[in-house]
């Protein structure tokens, strides 16, 4: 019990010192770079699990997808992606079947990708 309380106190302390002043949890607007990197990792992991090609280069995939998403989001200046929305989108990709990689419509929670 004492160990759990200590961990919670440390986590809260880190959250306050690293988080600074925030309006509300989950309302942080992510940068295009953060969105690109997060979704690239998620998509490339899904792709690696679905296609099974031993020549697949996950690092190159991450770089290409991340770059493409960043450029796309930077061009769409009106699109603001909150941290909670990004988490929902990533989770939706992770739990979807392989068809999510070839779908014409974004997965649930990923409407900002339209």
Residue 92 is predicted with a pLDDT of 96
C-beta of residue 36 within 8 angstroms of C-beta of residue 73: yes
C-beta of residue 42 within 8 angstroms of C-beta of residue 94: yes
Q: Which helix (H) or strand (E) holds 86?
A: helix 83-95
Bigger pLDDT: 4 vs 63: 63
**42/44 Cα distance (integer angstroms):** 6
CB neighbours of 114 closer than 8 A, spacing ≥ 6? 106
Q: What is the pLDDT of residues 39-50, one digit of tens each?
A: 999 999 999 999
Tell me how crowded residue 39 is: count the other CB atoms within 10 A of its CB.
Answer: 24
Q: What is the pLDDT of residues 7-38, one digit of tens each?
A: 232 233 323 333 334 445 548 999 999 999 99
């Amino acid at each position: 019990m004492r160990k759990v309380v200590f961990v919670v106190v440390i986590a809260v302390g880190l959250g306050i010192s690293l988080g600074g002043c925030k309006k509300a949890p989950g309302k942080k607007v992510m940068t295009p770079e953060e969105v690109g990197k997060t979704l690239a990792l998620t998509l490339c992991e899904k792709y690696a699990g679905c296609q099974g090609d031993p020549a697949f280069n996950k690092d190159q995939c991450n770089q290409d997808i991340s770059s493409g998403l960043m450029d796309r989001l930077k061009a769409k200046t009106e699109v603001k992606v909150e941290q909670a929305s990004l988490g929902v989108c990533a989770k939706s990709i992770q739990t979807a079947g392989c068809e999510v990689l070839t779908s014409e419509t974004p997965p649930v929670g990923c409407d900002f990708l339209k």
